[in-house]
Amino acid sequence: MNFSSRFPSLKQLAQVYSVVVVVVYGFSMVRFFWRVPSLINYSTSGQIGVILSYMLIVNLIESLMIVSAPVVLSVILPGKWFFDQFVTKGVLLVSLALGYAGYIASHINTEEPFPYPLFRWAPLVFILILALVFLLARVKFVAKFLEWASEQLEVFLVVSIPLTAIALIVVLVRNIF
Amino acid sequence: MSKLSRRSFLKIAGAALPTIFFPQAASWAGKALGQSDASKPNVIILLFDAMSARNLSVYGYPRPTSPNLERFAERAIVYHSHAASANFTIPATSSLLTGTYPWTHRAINHRGMVTQSLVDKNIFRAVGTDYQRMAFPQNVWANLITSQFANDIDTLLPSSTYASVDYLKGESLPNDTNMALRALDDFVFKENEQASIFLAPLLSAMYFRDAARLSKEGYPRGVPNNENYPLYFRLEDVFDGLASILPGLQSTFAYIHLYPPHAPYRAASRFYGEFNDNFRPIIKPVHRLSGHSSNARLASARRSYDEYIASIDWEIGNLFDILENEGVFENSYVIVTADHGEMFERGEVAHTTPLLYAPVTHVPLLISTPGQKTRRDVYAPTNAVDLLPTIAQLTGNPIPEWGEGVPLPELGGVEDFERSTFSVEAKRVSSFGPLGIATVSMYKGPHKIIYYTGYGGKDSYELYDLESDYEEMKNLIPVRPAIAKRLKEELLDTFSDVNKPYMK
């Protein structure tokens, strides 16, 4: 079996990764800007920059973890199942999975008990998501739209990659020296 | 072969575990044992978070909450009018560690930081490099402050050192603990305001699963935990850990900031229900700035708190027995104190309140000097800012010019009843601006004046005579106008001076 032949191209990866970046970085950025008014009460701009850097590194780690899921599926499943429609299925998979993650995250707050049931249902939800991925990918309009949308979202990589690179340098320097 | 008792086993394990997970502890222990000048007495601060003097029997509380501290008091200097400089951990700890009031160190918010110009001016720097300097801020808030002084600390034990469940992330980055705690544990992975859509919920689920699996044996209200960070700990593990390291100290300054009896109040089973008694505290009028808790809620919280204190006191007793047997008291100053108190009156539970009544500001201070066998009592007002100059002197160093305190009576200072000292609460304002919304209490002679500003309506004052009115029941503003005027003027002058640099 030649696994490497089912490894997506850089262009395909970038399209799926850009969707992950928009959701993962976007979610954190919104929370960050909520927090800024309180941070400026006791932190200098440099300290706020460091906090942002740590957040971006966490975002980098989780975005890589998330994008690895479609890559793994593409490599281990027969080419017809996933690799042949990597962008469509990859975008569908990460969008639906992140949607569920966001739903869980929105239920973690002081007003409600910790949402254990949402975690218990996660394996079943994942199977459901996979089924949806395979079904929706057959709809030509959906496939076309997702390919187009993910291509448009690639522009966010132009912002996120340099920002994350700076954050990585900041965090590494602070922890090495 | 002799049997190994549970406590001995835990002592050995307690000594070994930190050195496995935190190699710097081993290097510190080695340095402390091998390289220091053995002629210098240790200085050990045992600070208990949110321990009010008003709930300790050693300070006259009717419930027998602290028999072991009473025993300790018989060989210590007991300060009867010791005040915290602030009413919650961040500013109060900063005051103790920098010897300055909150309006100077500026760590006035919930997660505030000591101003950069004071970072090199701290108690560890004042003690000097002739001493091994160790800190164990078990309270993560205290760690947020202590880790700012990491350059002056030889060994900084993580808050999680004796924890049963630990999901703190920032402490795994020892070179940048302060900012990593602030960024990761106080923001990205903060339990209820997570800024990560995937990893944070996942880690939260793992943490809550582990916490739920933790055996509650011995703790009917649950195992003690840190209120805002993912840490659970058993009192016996923490104290056994301390019992394993304190006897080995030589020429060491140790700052040990323990989380208990901070809420949640979780007494061990032997003290659970201990105070289901007929004790009825004085009912005081509800304050307009309080949380308006019912008297039933206040009584119930007070009972749990008292039971928790009794639990801690029992562990203190065991620890002190070990220190006694190991001769630690012969070559050490042992200081027992608190960063701030806790209140269960006037409609308010706990301490993060605009109210600066005695239960919040009156904290214990008991100091046993090397070889001390008899009790001495000091009644003059003292303040947390006095610890830094006192310890600087005790360790053979000059009193730093930056401090706002003076050496404590009986330890190089004199009893001064006319000196003014302060407690400050200003969590709602910026560290970089004037204290527009604040409560300040000033102690002078037998009097305490409290000033409320910026809470809406006119600024207001209360005046109490603590000698004749220990419970602060009778506001003397209308009946002693001359004293009120003099104290008001002094307080307002001070307040205006400290605000001046921040006025636009």
- Condensed to tens digits (0 to 9), the pLDDT of residues A107-119 reads 888 778 888 889 9
Say which residue the tokens 């008991």 belong to.
B366
Secondary structure percentages of chain B, helix, strand, coil, to 5: 40, 15, 45
Which pLDDT band holds residue A144 (cuts at 50, 70, 90)?
A: very high
Which pLDDT band holds residue B30 (cuts at 50, 70, 90)?
A: very low
Q: How far is CA B348 from CA B101, B161, B275, in A?
A: 24, 33, 20
Which pLDDT band holds residue B396 (cuts at 50, 70, 90)?
A: very high
Say which residue the tokens 């009460």 belong to.
A41
Helical segments of A40-85, H only:
45-76
Name every residue whose Cβ is closer than 8 Å to that of residue B27 and which is 6 or more positions away in sequence.
Answer: B155
Is A53–B199 a contact, with Cβ atoms under 8 angstroms apart? no
Which amino acid belongs to residue B171?
E
Query: Whole-model pTM?
Result: 0.91
Say if B206 is an interface residue toward chain A (CB within 8 Å).
Answer: no
Distance between CA B143 and CA B140 in Å, rounded? Answer: 5
Q: What is the pLDDT of residue B32?
A: 44
Name every residue whose Cβ is closer than 8 Å to that of residue B318 and which is 6 or more positions away in sequence.
Answer: B7, B239, B243
CA nearest B141: which of B170, B173, B105? B170
Q: Judge whether residue B75 has pLDDT over 60.
A: yes
Q: Judge whether residue B26 has pLDDT over 50.
A: no
**How confident is the model over B242-262, as a mean pLDDT?**
97
Residues in chain B with CB shorter than 8 Å from the CB of A171 are 176
Q: What is the pLDDT of residue B27?
A: 43
**How confident is the model over A25-49, as a mean pLDDT?**
94
Is B430–A40 a contact, with Cβ atoms under 8 angstroms apart? yes
Say if A28 is an interface residue toward chain B (CB within 8 Å).
Answer: yes
Q: What is the pLDDT of residue B193?
A: 80
**How confident is the model over B408-428, as a mean pLDDT?**
96
Q: Judge whether residue A44 has pLDDT over 90.
A: yes
**How confident is the model over B347-352, as a mean pLDDT?**
94
Share of chain B above pLDDT 90, in %: 88
Average pLDDT, chain B: 92
Residues in chain A with CB shorter than 8 Å from the CB of B194 are 31, 105, 108
Is B192–A109 a contact, with Cβ atoms under 8 angstroms apart? yes
Fold observed for domain B6-30+40-167+223-418: Alkaline Phosphatase, subunit A (3.40.720)
CA atoms within 13 A on the CB side of B117: 6
Residues in chain B with CB shorter than 8 Å from the CB of A174 are 175-176, 179
Q: What is the pLDDT of residue B22?
A: 42
Q: What is the pLDDT of residue B5?
A: 47
| Among the ranges given (B66-70, B227-231, B373-377, B475-479), the one the predictor scored with the smallest mean pLDDT | B227-231
Domain ranges in chain B? Answer: 6-30+40-167+223-418
Specify the pairing of strand B77-79 against strand B365-368. Answer: antiparallel
- Asked whether this complex has an ipTM greater than 0.90, the answer is yes
Q: Judge whether residue B34 has pLDDT over 60.
A: no
Residue B405: alpha-carbon gap to chain centroid: 17
Name every residue whose Cβ is closer than 8 Å to that of residue A38 and which is 6 or more positions away in sequence.
Answer: none
Bond into B261 cis (ω within 30): yes
Residue B453 burial by Cβ neighbours in a 10 Å radius (0-12, 13-18, 19+): middle
Q: Tens digits of per-residue pLDDT, B101-157?
A: 999 999 999 889 999 999 999 999 999 999 999 999 999 999 999 999 999 999 999
Q: Judge whether residue B250 has pLDDT over 90.
A: yes
Could you tell me the end-to-end alpha-carbon distance of chain A, in angstroms, rounded to an integer? 46
| Of residues A58, A116, A175, nearest to B175 (C-beta) | A175
Helix (H) or strand (E) holding B334: strand B332-338
**How confident is the model over B94-105, as a mean pLDDT?**
98
Say if A27 is an interface residue toward chain B (CB within 8 Å).
Answer: yes
Helix (H) or strand (E) holding B237: helix B235-245
Residue B173, token pair as written in the block: 């980055």
Share of chain B above pLDDT 70, in %: 92
| Among the ranges given (B35-49, B231-245, B277-291), the one the predictor scored with the smallest mean pLDDT | B35-49
Residues in chain B with CB shorter than 8 Å from the CB of A60 are none
| Among the ranges given (A1-10, A24-33, A84-93), the one the predictor scored with the smallest mean pLDDT | A1-10
Q: Where are the beta strands (DSSP E) in B2-143?
A: 42-48, 77-79, 82-83, 132-137
Q: What is the pLDDT of residue A6?
A: 87
**How confident is the model over A119-143, as a mean pLDDT?**
93
Tell me if B292 sits within 8 A of B353, measured CB to CB: no
| Of residues A44, A101, A176, nearest to B197 (C-beta) | A101
Tell me if B50 sits within 8 A of B351, measured CB to CB: yes
Q: What is the pLDDT of residue B484?
A: 97
Distance between CA B249 and CA B232 in Å, rounded? Answer: 27
Q: What is the pLDDT of residue B192?
A: 78
Q: Judge whether residue A38 has pLDDT over 70.
A: yes
| Of residues B116, B179, B199, nearest to A58 (C-beta) | B199
Q: What is the pLDDT of residue A23?
A: 97
Which pLDDT band holds residue B457 (cuts at 50, 70, 90)?
A: confident
Q: Judge whether residue A54 has pLDDT over 80.
A: yes
Q: Tens digits of per-residue pLDDT, A79-103?
A: 899 999 999 999 999 999 999 999 9
Which amino acid belongs to residue B455?
Y
| Among the ranges given (A108-122, B165-179, B342-356), the one the predictor scored with the smallest mean pLDDT | A108-122
Q: Is A109 helix (H, G, I), strand (E, B) or coil?
A: coil
Q: What is the pLDDT of residue A4?
A: 78
Is A35–B187 a contact, with Cβ atoms under 8 angstroms apart? yes
Residue A44's CB: how many other CB atoms inside 10 A? 15
Q: Judge whether residue B10 has pLDDT over 60.
A: no
**How confident is the model over B67-75, as a mean pLDDT?**
98
**How confident is the model over A26-50, as a mean pLDDT?**
94
Residue B95 burial by Cβ neighbours in a 10 Å radius (0-12, 13-18, 19+): buried
Tell me if B196 sits within 8 A of A29, measured CB to CB: no
